Structure 1
Amino acid sequence: MTTALGPRTGTTAPLPAGTPAATRDRARPVRPWAKPLTYVLLVALSALLLVPFFWMVSASLKTNDQVFTVPIRWIPEELHWDNFVTIWDRVPLMTYLRNSAFLAGVITLLQVLTGSFAAYGFSKIRFPGRDGLFLAYIATIAVPWQAYMIPQYILMQRAGLVNTFTALILLQAFSAFGVFLMRQYYMSVPDELVEAARIDGLSEYGIYRRIMLPLSVPALASLALLTFVNTWNDFMGPFIYLTSNDLWTIQLGLRQFVGQFDAEYAMIMTGSVISVIPILLVFLLGQRYFIQGIATSGLKG
C-alpha cells in the first residue's frame, strides 16, 4: 500500500488504493538535494548558452588582431570602447537599424493579425474540409524555402517589386507557424464561451475582436516576439531583394566590414552587439507573456 508522510511526526500514513498516480507522486518525500542540484544544472546550462554572447561582447572591445588570439582572452588588457563610436562613422548604422526596425515591426504586426484571424477560423468555425485544409496549410512548413525561392523572386521581379520593402512584407505577411501556434491556444478556449456569444447575437468578427483577442494576449506576445526576432535576424531575404544601400538592414550592413581577402571582425562584433540590444529590450518587455504563451499554447489540440 502506498504511504505518505504524516503532517507532524514525519511518519508515513497509508493512502487509499485508488489514489491517482499524480497524487501519489506529490505525496512522495522530496529529496533535499534535488532542488539545489536542479539550480546548479540550470545555471551551468545557462552559462554554456551565454558563452557565444560573452565572446561577442569581448571581441567588440578588442582590435582585429586580438579577436582570435589563442588562448582566448575574455577580458582584454585594453578595452577599446571607441569601437562603439567609430562604427557610426564607418557605416550608416542608424539607417540600417531604422530599416530593420521598420521591416520587423510591419511584418510582426501583419503576421500577428493574419495568424490570429486564420487560427480563429480553423479552431472555432465549423465548415466542410476545415481539418484537411488546416493540415495542408501546416504541411507547407515542411517545404524548405530554397525550393520556391526562385519562383518567388521571378514573381516579385515581374511585379516590379525588387529592391523595395514591399516584396519582403508581402512574402512574410503570412505564416503557417503563426496560424498553428494561435490555433493551439484558441483550442484551449471553451467552445461554450463562443457559442454563448453567438446566441447573444455577436458576429464572428465581434467574437474574434472582443473575446478571442483579449484572451490570447500571451500567445499573441509569443508570436510577436518570435516573428520580430526572426525578421530582425533575417539575412537571405534582404540580401536577395534589396540592392540599394539605403534599404539595407543591419544584417546586410555588417557585410561592409567583410573584404575580399580579410574582414574587420572587431567592427563586425561591435555592430552585432548593437544589433542585439533591440531584441533584448523587446524580450525583456514581453518575457512574462512570452513564457506564459509558450507554456499554454499546447494544452489542447
Structure 2
Amino acid sequence: MSAEQQLARLERQILGAARVSSFLDTVDLLRRMLAQESPEIRARVLTLVAPSIGRDLAAAVGAAWNIGVLDAEKVIGEGRVKGVPGTPPKTLVAAARASEKAIGAELAKARKLARVGADVATVLAPVFAASNVLQRDVTTLVNHAGNKGTAAVADAVGLSTVWVAETNACVECLAYSGRISKPGKPFPGGLTYGAKSYHPDPVDVPPLHPRCRCELEPLVSREYADALRREADRSVLRGFSLESEPMRVRVEAAERLLARGVDAPKSVIAYARRAVKRGEFGTRGRP
C-alpha cells in the first residue's frame, strides 16, 4: 500500500468513524450518568443524542452544552430554567472550528508530502499528530461546554457552583475540589497542593487543563462542598494519582500538607508520613 493510500485510509478514520466514535463515547457517558434515575430526563437527553452529533466538533460541543444544562436542572430539581440559552456561547463554537481547522492544516501537509513521494513515516507523522490533537480537543472542549451549560443554569437561578474533581486528579485540580464560586464569578487562580501553580489566572469553569476530568455542579449544600475538600486532602495523603503525574509531585504535596496541618483520620496521616519518608506511595491509580 502506497503512502498516499495509507494516508487516505487514516484520514478517513480520523475525520470519519473514529471522530464520530470519540464524540459519541463522550456524550453517551454524560447521557448515561444523567439517565440513571429519571425516565423523563432519559427521554429529553435522548432527543439530544441525534445522528448529527459527531459530524463535527462544534456539534459535539452543542450537545455537551445541552447535557450540562439538563444535569444542572436535575440537581436543582425545579424543571426547566428560564433564561438559559439553547446553544453554547459563540466563543466555544469558534474554538471548535479553530481546532478542526488546525487539524485540517496538518492533514493537508501530509497530503502534499505524499504527492511528492516522501517516505511513509514522514507522511503519516502529521496524521498521527492530528489524531492526538483531536482527541485532546474533544475531551477538553466537550467538558468545557458541559460545565458552561451547568454554570448558565446556576447563574440564571442565582446559585453558586462547586468544583468537583476526581479522587485521583492532579494536585492542582484537587486544590479546586469543593471550592465555591458565586453566581457569575470565576474561581480564583493559582490553587494547588503542589509547589507551584501553572494556572495563575482566574478560571470560569473546568477544565483546568487539557484532558481535565473536573466537573461543575450547582451548590445545593455547603456540607457537600466541605466533604469534597476533606476528600481532596485525603486523596493527597493517600497518594491516589495517575501515572501521568510524577510520584515526586504527589509525595511533596503530601509532605507540604502534613507540615501545614490537616484534619484527617490518624490512620491516614500515619500512612502519609510513612509514604513521605519512603518517597513513594503504593496506592497510585486507586480511586
Fold match (TM-score > 0.5): no
> More helix by proportion, 1 or 2?
1
The answer to which structure, 1 or 2, has the higher relative contact order (CA under 8 A, 6+ apart) is: 1
TM-score interval w.r.t. the shorter chain?
under 0.3
Q: TM-score normalized by structure 2?
A: 0.25
